[in-house]
Homo-oligomer: A and B are copies of this chain.
């Protein structure tokens, strides 16, 4: 089965397509790095939209999501952005746990798998 990679770096790729399944990297904020949980979550979900488009998918076809937040106290703030972004009737399986991330400026990281 064919494998196609997008935004391929020396350490990881941002998106990997295997047949009809799209694996995205754990995405953290870019321009909103160091900003609020709301801003970071919006930034992340925008990047996910763009990566899914490159890979031939979209947010109506997300299968599963792993969300990492650095403080569970920010759960509601992250969810408020998530809940308006997901598409009714097309919500993925999901788990959210608390974990420290690669740099203190990151408060949220989201990793999804989608179908094409």
The residues of A with any CB-CB pair to B shorter than 8 Å are: 1, 3, 5, 8-16, 18-21, 23-26, 61, 63-66, 68, 72, 75, 79, 82-83, 86, 88-102, 109, 111, 113, 115-116
Contact = CB atoms under 8 A, between A and B. Distances in A.
27 contacts: A1-B115, A3-B61, A3-B115, A5-B89, A5-B90, A5-B91, A8-B89, A8-B91, A10-B88, A11-B82, A11-B91, A12-B91, A12-B94, A14-B93, A15-B93, A18-B63, A18-B115, A19-B20, A23-B63, A23-B64, A26-B93, A26-B96, A64-B113, A68-B95, A72-B102, A96-B102, A99-B99
Which of A14, A16, A111 is most buried by chain B, counting CB atoms within 10 A of its CB?
A: A16
Contacts of A109: 95, 97
Contacts of A12: 65, 86, 91-94
B100 A72 contact: yes
- The quantity of this chain's copies bound in the complex is 3
Lowest 5 CB-CB distances: which A-B pairs, in order?
A: A26-B95, A98-B100, A97-B99, A12-B94, A23-B64
B91 A9 contact: yes
